[in-house]
Amino acid sequence: MENSVGESSTTAAVTSIYHGLPLLTTRLVSSNNTNNNNNNTQNKMSLVINGDSHTQAHLGQVITHYLASLQPHKQRFLGYPTNEEFNYEALAPLLHLHLNNAGDPFHGSSFTLNSTSFEVSVLDWFAHLWDIQKSEYWGYVTTGGTEGNLHGLLLGREQFPDGILYASQDSHYSVFKIARMYRMQCIKVASLISGEIDCRDLKALLLANKHKPAIINLNIGTTMKGAVDDIDLVIKTLHETGFSRDRFYIHCDGALFGIMLPFLKEAASKISFKKAIGSITISGHKFLGCPIPCGVVITRLEHMKALSRDVVEVIASRDATVTGSRSGHAPIFLWYSLQKKGIIGIEKEVERCIMNARYLRDQLGSAGIGAMLNELSCTVVFERPLDDEFVSRWSLACNGNIAHVVVMQHVTLSMLDSFVSEFLQNRVIWFRDGLRKPLCIANDVGAIHCTCPLHISIKLLDI
Amino acid sequence: MENSVGESSTTAAVTSIYHGLPLLTTRLVSSNNTNNNNNNTQNKMSLVINGDSHTQAHLGQVITHYLASLQPHKQRFLGYPTNEEFNYEALAPLLHLHLNNAGDPFHGSSFTLNSTSFEVSVLDWFAHLWDIQKSEYWGYVTTGGTEGNLHGLLLGREQFPDGILYASQDSHYSVFKIARMYRMQCIKVASLISGEIDCRDLKALLLANKHKPAIINLNIGTTMKGAVDDIDLVIKTLHETGFSRDRFYIHCDGALFGIMLPFLKEAASKISFKKAIGSITISGHKFLGCPIPCGVVITRLEHMKALSRDVVEVIASRDATVTGSRSGHAPIFLWYSLQKKGIIGIEKEVERCIMNARYLRDQLGSAGIGAMLNELSCTVVFERPLDDEFVSRWSLACNGNIAHVVVMQHVTLSMLDSFVSEFLQNRVIWFRDGLRKPLCIANDVGAIHCTCPLHISIKLLDI
């Protein structure tokens, strides 16, 4: 590296705010004292930033310890819809650059270290997947599902400033947060036992609020039960209640299934821009797999134009996205994943996830544990384990009396076997004193899927 | 990898939506046809995702071409405040994992593949930098400056639902976008010629709107001119106009200088939570350097509590952030950068950037090109080059009649020498026919810094 002007000058403009501060001295000492402790403690303690400069070798050690500490979690990572099976080794050289796709990916930008050409390729792929012509769509690679919802719902609100947002109670938590952020009136719609939006309730609510346009959030599928809202039925309901196409906007939150469903022949409700929807978003780190959270949002060009026409001079682009600086790496990861898998690879992975989910449901069933799996879903819902340690050990996601496993690409049959076997062993322990019993999940997934003592006895009576 | 149940079953639930689609066949052909073209075309063409599965070797080649195509830009990357000088090789193994810090970093989460321990270390460091006790602050690692502004301004709005947002006209474009998103009344305040907020104008506006609380966005410093708003003077203005502390909220957008300024002895207006400010945000990919955009927001714990108390069960954490799923990698990059540099390293880098910026200003001045550099800034503002190709070649950021160079760590003296020399050569060409003249930048940076024909002649008359 070249010398700077005046770097070693005695008139340097710089001084330290840190030298001699007692707090940092204390931290430094406690960090040094940990050298003889076990790995875990050392690892934890040495994360403190004490102001010293550390060598790459030392820091590399910390990272190695950290990675080792994550391995057990990775081997039993069942509760979240993130694909942990990928290999982006070929992309490691990209770590040497900050890439930034600030602005509109279709507009170009004066931030020349960008990857918008990769981004547009990825967007084209999704536009094609969801049946919208290149000349008619707009979109971008987001930081994740929440930003996709932020963008889609903003498009809806800008089209209908006094519109009411309808979202089923099974919608992702971000939807209700966004309603608050955007100061939108939001009405929660009931869900069916499957998790799907209840169109009878939606109908009643629409009729009661006919005077205001409707902005509807649909789930493809829901966070907890993996249920897919029926787009056709929702549109039919809108028409039946007198909402013409110019008085509603539908945003599809397709976090996980938005990319899986198009590959399933049996999918009842196809996701398609040939239907009267305004936007679709998916998370890139879910099915496709990506080290960092990211996502894709696709909308009709006409909606985006209503949102932003102005060029921001400093980036020589349009400020059409929610976040300004956007990752240049994320689109390359997505591009790489799509190119590596190919259509056949994606099909196979979708099939494997769904088949393995059915396997888990059946194994739980055979073991006498009630479980629900929506058709064409890879999210298996069952009674919440009573022990938090067990929940954490398998990284399960819980809600009330239920827990779920999302069977993603990294979830193998032997992981599922181990999980069921361990679950059974633990249940024996939890329930052996007779004081605790399996939780009732009839209200969550229906009595038919519940194996709590009450519903077991009812079933026995029926026989 | 283990076989799945029924993967090769003839009753597989999966079919392809792609097989035989003409559009994809066309794409495939055009992709294949590019093999004999030059690298650029090949690179561009092969980005199309045609549905085939590609080998790692093939994809690696595309990435290599892409990286090579970026090198010339990197060698002349002058216009943006991103540090392109870093080495995160030691972190390459992290690419094998999706890490996710969904939720509140201080609350824990059932998403076990997280890096919240790194995140909290980074936050602690910034809290200390900005004088706020561990027990009194809250914060998180964001996706970048815009999310930091989204969060800080939301805190302000939730505290004062009918508050008016005041932001100088030199504020980042995201601030005005956010006002629209949040449905906040927003008043643009005039700026001084330096780019700093004009407190006389602010005073008049506050007096005219005394009935409503004030939410103020301050810039540390501004996007285009690197000007630092005077926090003390703004607070004084608020007091003078009768705004007691319980009727205003100040958010500091410290994108680039929020981390640099504390290391400068001469900094007139220290950024500190000892003053009546509510939140500070910086971008992580700017001074510290990070492959992906990221940032830090720090606020007072009391403000965050007002925003979110609810635990979201599915992640077993609080939904206290704007985005839901958050990068687990970004905090590790920031942690690594802070640990590697140490305090002394940061001081040296701050000094070098500022000294080199002064060098550029002086070189431009000696060459007869008017340029402005705010004190304690590394952003040099000058006349906009007349040729877009030159602007793009040096990745300059422009606005109206001005352009700027932001002297970051990767900007060497020889880069600056080449830039000035090439600028001079080009000016000779642009102006040689006498039809075009250097743009007047007196309105942007003051007549004293302008070398347009008019202001040159006035200066000559004065002599």
Selected for mutation to probe chain B from A343, A380, A414, A420 (highest B CB count within 10 Å) is A343
Q: Which among B269, B333, B262 is positioned nearest to B296, based on CA atoms?
A: B333
Structural contact between residues A362 and A368, judged by C-beta atoms closer than 8 angstroms: no
Option in A14, A262, A350 nearest B265 (CB)? A14
Query: Would you state the pLDDT for residue A256?
Result: 94
Are A300 and A274 a contacting pair, CB within 8 Å? no
Distance from CA of A12 to the nearest CA of B (A): 7
A231-250 pLDDT, tens per residue?
999 999 999 999 999 999 99
Residue with tokens 């939720």: B103
- Nearest by Cα to B126 from B109, B141, B144: B141
Looking only at Cα atoms, what is the longest distance across chain A? 92
Tens-binned pLDDT, residue by residue, of chain A (463 aa): 444 444 433 233 333 343 322 222 223 223 333 333 333 334 444 799 989 999 999 999 999 999 999 999 999 999 999 999 999 999 999 999 999 999 999 988 889 999 999 999 999 999 999 999 999 999 999 999 999 999 999 999 999 999 999 999 999 999 999 999 999 999 999 999 999 999 999 999 999 999 999 999 999 999 999 999 999 999 999 999 999 999 999 999 999 999 999 999 877 668 999 999 999 999 999 999 999 999 999 999 999 887 766 677 787 788 889 988 999 999 999 999 999 999 999 999 999 999 999 999 999 999 999 999 999 899 999 999 999 999 999 999 999 999 999 999 999 999 999 999 999 999 999 999 999 999 999 999 999 999 999 998 888 887 6
Note the pLDDT of residue B269. 67
CA distance B144 to B152: 12
Nearest to A263 by CA among A198, A189, A341, A169: A341
Prior bond of B368 cis (ω within 30°): no
Give a three-class secondary structure readout of A80-102.
Answer: CCCCCCCCCHHHHHHHHCCCECC
B183 touches chain A (CB under 8 A): yes
CB pairs < 8 Å spanning A and B: 413
* A324 close to B (CB below 8 A): yes
Chain A hits for B135, Cβ within 8 Å: none
Distance of residue A424 Cα from the nearest chain B Cα, in angstroms: 21
Catalytically annotated residue among A171, A174, A191, A377: A377
Contact status of B396 with chain A (Cβ, < 8 Å): yes
Task: Please tell me the distance from the alpha carbon of residue B291 to that of residue B284, in angstroms, as a whole number.
Answer: 10
The verdict on a CB contact (< 8 Å) between B54 and A312 is: no
Amino acid in the structure at residue A229: D
Torsion angle in degrees (nearest 10) through CA of A115, A121, A126, A131: 140
The span from the CA of B221 to the CA of A200, in Å, is 54
pLDDT of residue B308: 65
**Contact at CB, B1 and A412, closer than 8 angstroms:** yes
* Lateral strand order in the sheet of A397-399: A371-373, A379-383, A402-406, A397-399
Active site members of B: 377
Q: Is B39 helix (H, G, I), strand (E, B) or coil?
A: helix
The whole-model pTM stands at 0.91
pLDDT of the residue at A312: 77
Asked if the C-beta of A274 comes within 8 angstroms of chain B's C-beta atoms, the answer is: no
What the block records as the tokens of B371 is 């340029």
H or E element at residue B168: strand B164-168
ipTM: 0.91
Distances (CA, A) of A196 to A100, A168, B255, B399: 38, 8, 43, 50
Q: Do A54 and B94 touch (CB under 8 A)?
A: no
Where does A12-163 have alpha helices with state H? 22-32, 39-45, 56-75, 116-129, 145-159
Please give the Cα distance from A233 to A231 (Å, whole number): 6
In whole angstroms, what separates CA A80 from the centre of its chain?
9
Residue A71 in contact with partner chain B when CB distance is under 8 A: no
Q: How far apart are CA A327 and CA A331, in angstroms?
A: 8
Catalytic site includes residue A457: no
**Chain B partners of A412 at a C-beta cutoff of 8 Å?**
1-2
Beta-carbon-side half-sphere exposure of residue A240 (alpha carbons within 13 Å): 12
Distance CA B396, CA B387 (A): 11
Which pLDDT score is estimated for A309? Answer: 61
Q: Is the peptide bond before A289 cis (omega within 30 degrees of 0)?
A: no
**B356 vs B378: CA distance, rounded Å:** 8
A174 and B324: CB-CB below 8 Å? Answer: yes
The Cβ of residue A435 has, within 10 Å, a number of other Cβ atoms equal to 7
Q: How confident is the model at residue B319 (pLDDT cuts 50, 70, 90)?
A: confident
What angle (nearest 5°) sits at the alpha carbon of residue A100, between those of residues B224 and B216?
45
The three-state DSSP-derived secondary structure of B297-349 is EEEEHHHHHHHCCCEEHHHCEECCCCCCCCECHHHHHHHHHHHHHHHHHHHHH
Q: How many helices (H) and strands (E) does chain A have?
A: 15, 13
Cβ-based contacts of A121 with chain B (< 8 Å): 47-49
- How many whole angstroms separate alpha carbon B383 and alpha carbon B6? 68
Q: Report the percentage of chain B scoring pLDDT > 70.
A: 89
